[in-house]
Amino acid sequence: MDESALPLRDVTVVSLEQAVAAPFATRQLADLGARVIKVERPGGGDFARGYDETVKGMSSHFVWLNRGKESVVLDVKDAAGRAVLHRMVGRADVLVQNLAPGAAERLGLVPEELRRRHPRLITCGISGYGDSGPYRSKKAYDLLVQCEAGVLSVTGTPDEPAKVGISIADIAAGMYAYSGILTALYERERTGQGTDLSVSMLEALAEWMGYPYYYATYGGTPPPRTGAQHATIAPYGPYTAGDGHQVFFGLQNEREWAALCTHVLRCPDLIEDERFARNSPRVENRDELTALIEEAFADATAAEAVRRLDEAGIANARLRSMEEFAAHPQLAARDRWRQVGSPVGPLNALLPPVTVTGREPRMGAIPAVGEHTDAVLAEFGEAPTVEGGP
């Protein structure tokens, strides 16, 4: 692969990052060709390295989030380590950090002061709740932010709320940090000046809660927790076929409702039934509608139901396990899997979701903790390290 064609090939990112949000943002930058120097703490590095040992002894979170980066172990609490860090920042285009509240300032990484010395530097701070307000110093983990943003109030079953199964608060914050950094790099091309960005997990996830907020605030009641059903559209969710397996499908408009009744359920009289004539009454009468759908599917296997839905142009899906997802025929047909290097050998990795015609992203190796410490410190005039720091 010709890395000189990658759009961020001349961009250097220094990141003091842990866990998910900041590493998610910087991995996207690395895939686009940026040099990402990941500063890790002595004695184990990024906490995410120890979350589990499921990927041939490595952590699944770390493998997912850290390909293509250079790992440098640096004791930034030590004066010598901080001096090296500041030299690195002085040559960087972007500084990213998701340290605990106040930690960046204690390290002398105050955005305004940094930019006085380095006018083109872009700084990005990711926090749980923002750098002001009563929650400024409150610890923030993904589940807890999901709670504070109201996600659990609309996710789960009527009897029990449920967290989303992936780290959506972290991912949301990481995505806004990533897009914000790209915007700042574009702005710098026009103005020659860097800028300071801040992203909080709460505010990032709050943006994603727009639909339930408006529904509850102006409709008078919150969207109910409906498990795998859609809270405000029907039919939309899982339905059991005659062989006991579930089929998932959903509608978006009345044309699709008519097609479902005529070609899938084979009950055209339902089209004008007052109980189901529009989406709102279909939601109100969801249980009756579900019973009618499953009655119509009683003589069909799930595969036959899917065939009928496909022929009628109704969106549908299978509920896949992780094993089935890994072997998904669409991902295979589109050649979306690659292999990346790691300390434990080659590992499978998906290409980033944005496809640019004629260009492959950089799918760099996952670094061992401190793998690049000596080379990077030598670049910045430091002698090789000893155990525990420079």
**Number of structural domains found in the chain:** 2
Three-state secondary structure call for residue 6 = coil
**Inside any domain, residue 144:** yes
Three-state secondary structure call for residue 32 = coil
Q: Are residues 127 and 271 in the same domain?
A: no
**Inside any domain, residue 59:** yes
Q: Are residues 136 and 186 in the same domain?
A: yes
The CATH number of residue 275's host domain is: 3.30.1540.10
CB atoms under 10 Å from CB of 229, counted, come to 21
Q: Of 320, 348, 365, which closes a domain? A: 320
Q: Of 295, 320, 345, which closes a domain? A: 320
Q: Which of 370, 384, 372, 374 is nearest to 44 (CA)?
A: 370
Q: Which of 102, 118, 246 is nearest to 193 (CA)?
A: 118
Q: Are 30 and 68 in contact (CB under 8 A)?
A: yes
- The residue segments making up the domain with residue 293 are 236-320
Q: Are residues 57 and 193 in the same domain?
A: yes
CB atoms under 10 Å from CB of 5, counted, come to 12
**Inside any domain, residue 221:** no
Q: Of 320, 346, 363, which closes a domain? A: 320
Q: Are residues 115 and 149 in the same domain?
A: yes
Q: Are 311 and 334 in contact (CB under 8 A)?
A: no
Residue with tokens 């050998």: 345
Q: Are residues 62 and 172 in the same domain?
A: yes
**Inside any domain, residue 255:** yes
The residues annotated as belonging to the active site are 230
**Inside any domain, residue 279:** yes
Q: Are residues 362 and 253 in the same domain?
A: no
Residue with tokens 């009454």: 281
The structure tokens listed for 355 are: 């496809």
Q: Are residues 137 and 270 in the same domain?
A: no
Query: ω into residue 343 within 30 of 0, thus cis?
Result: no
Q: Are residues 58 and 160 in the same domain?
A: yes
What are the C-alpha distances in Å from 343 to residues 45, 63, 200, 347, 365?
Answer: 15, 10, 33, 10, 9
**Inside any domain, residue 325:** no
Q: Are residues 372 and 265 in the same domain?
A: no
Q: Are residues 142 and 186 in the same domain?
A: yes
Q: In sequence order, what are the residues at sequence separation of 6 or more whose Cβ sits closer than 8 angstroms to the Cβ of residue 346?
A: 339, 340
Rounded to the nearest 10 degrees, how much is the dihedral formed by the CA atoms of 333, 336, 337, 339?
Answer: 140
**Inside any domain, residue 224:** no
Q: Are residues 84 and 110 in the same domain?
A: yes
**Inside any domain, residue 117:** yes
Q: How far apart are CA 78 and CA 82, in angstroms?
A: 6
Tens of pLDDT along the chain (390 residues) come to: 567 789 999 999 999 999 999 999 999 999 999 999 999 999 999 999 999 999 999 999 999 999 999 999 999 999 999 999 999 999 999 999 999 888 999 999 999 999 999 999 999 999 999 999 999 999 999 999 999 999 999 999 999 999 999 999 999 999 999 999 999 999 999 999 999 999 999 999 999 999 999 999 999 999 999 899 998 899 999 999 999 999 999 999 999 999 999 999 999 999 999 999 899 999 999 999 999 999 999 999 999 999 999 999 999 998 888 999 999 999 999 999 999 999 999 999 999 999 998 899 999 999 999 999 999 999 987 766 544 444
